[in-house]
């Protein structure tokens, strides 16, 4: 595993963009796996800058997002459809038809609904396989070690499916919903840990002290479903780009700096 410790979130975004763009330029077609939340924003800002100032071309890039809340319309300001459009897609020359975010705006009450949602999840997984898989998957990490919305206890071989959000995650994400945890949806559709592990390359970003324990568990702890990000220890090409605060509990001295 490669671990790069940088001084702040801006550097984290730049470093991650460098890794992705280098790889992107080496391929004629490219499939990017994307995350939402506050952590990838410096990366998206850097990709937007590279597009505007250096002509980085996204016209043939295909994207798949990790997850989406169940029950939010795509134009809801906290839906991940909306997030991606506002924070990345509308600023670059991406073809909207090549972007994919799981369809979460479907009812989830009756057994038929549950069946329908699982079909949507299976189709999402199939679409990723049909384009030849994800070249580079971007990840954040929850303070409880989740990746995507694979909460502690998730199967390390899981594929795209519906998950119940933990109380910890709903508390963490209440900041996006006027501080009101009751407004945070209870369920989300998420790529599984198995889906994430299928990506050719993975970059996990983290900043701030609030992520330090999760980063320590993911990198220096045992591989366990109790820390879903620890599954990345099984990946052949996983890089963590984290700031000094998120790295503050790490003990090995071999990590890269800068």
Options 68, 81, 125, 146, the catalytic residue: 146
45 is catalytic: no
For residues 30 and 154, which CB has a smaller minimum distance to ligand F6R in the complex? 154
Name 164's bridge partners: 187
Options 67, 68, 135, 172, the catalytic residue: 67
Neighbour-count burial of 225, counting CB atoms closer than 10 A to its CB (0-12 exposed, 13-18 middle, 19+ buried): middle
**Long-range contacts, 25-28 (Cβ 8 Å, 24+):** 27/135, 28/60
Options 68, 135, 151, 243, the catalytic residue: 151
For residues 135 and 211, which CB has a smaller minimum distance to ligand F6R in the complex? 211
Chain position carrying tokens 């070249």: 135
Q: Closest residue (Cβ) to ligand F6R?
A: 140
Name 67's bridge partners: 190
Distance CA 218, CA 222 (A): 8
**Are 196 and 147 a contacting pair, CB within 8 Å?**
yes
Q: Alpha helices of the chain — where are they, by DSSP H?
A: 9-25, 41-54, 80-87, 111-130, 167-173, 193-198, 212-220
For residues 168 and 233, which CB has a smaller minimum distance to ligand F6R in the complex? 168
Shortest CB 222 distance to ligand F6R, Å: 21
Shortest CB 10 distance to ligand F6R, Å: 15
Shortest CB 40 distance to ligand F6R, Å: 7
Distance CA 14, CA 162 (A): 32
67 is catalytic: yes
Shortest CB 254 distance to ligand F6R, Å: 26
Residues at the contact surface with ligand F6R, assessed by CB under 6 A: 35-39, 66-67, 140-142, 146-148
For residues 60 and 186, which CB has a smaller minimum distance to ligand F6R in the complex? 186
Q: Which residues are catalytic?
A: 67, 144, 146, 151
């Amino acid at each position: 595993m490669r671990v790069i410790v940088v001084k702040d979130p801006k550097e984290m975004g730049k470093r991650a963009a460098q890794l992705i763009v280098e790889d992107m330029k080496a391929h004629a077609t490219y499939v990017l796996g994307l995350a939402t939340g506050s952590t990838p924003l410096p990366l998206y800002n850097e990709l937007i800058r590279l597009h505007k100032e250096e002509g980085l071309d996204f016209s043939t890039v295909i994207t798949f997002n990790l997850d989406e809340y169940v029950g939010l319309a795509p134009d809801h300001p906290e839906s991940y459809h909306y997030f991606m459009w506002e924070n990345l897609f509308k600023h670059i020359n991406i073809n909207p038809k090549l972007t994919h975010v799981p369809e979460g705006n479907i009812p989830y009450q009756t057994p038929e609904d549950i069946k329908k949602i699982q079909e949507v999840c299976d189709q999402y997984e199939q679409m990723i396989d049909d384009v030849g898989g994800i070249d580079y998957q971007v990840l954040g990490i929850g303070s409880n070690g989740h990746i995507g919305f694979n909460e502690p206890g998730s199967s390390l071989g899981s594929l795209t499916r519906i998950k119940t959000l933990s109380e910890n995650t709903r508390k963490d994400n209440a900041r996006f919903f006027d501080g009101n945890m009751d407004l945070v949806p209870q369920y989300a559709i998420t790529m599984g840990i198995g889906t994430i592990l299928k990506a050719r390359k993975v970059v996990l970003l983290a900043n701030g002290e609030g992520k330090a324990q999760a980063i320590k568990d993911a990198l220096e702890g045992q591989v366990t479903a109790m820390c879903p990000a620890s599954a990345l220890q099984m990946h052949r090409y996983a890089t963590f780009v984290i700031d000094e605060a998120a790295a503050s509990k790490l003990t090995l001295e071999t990590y890269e700096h800068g």
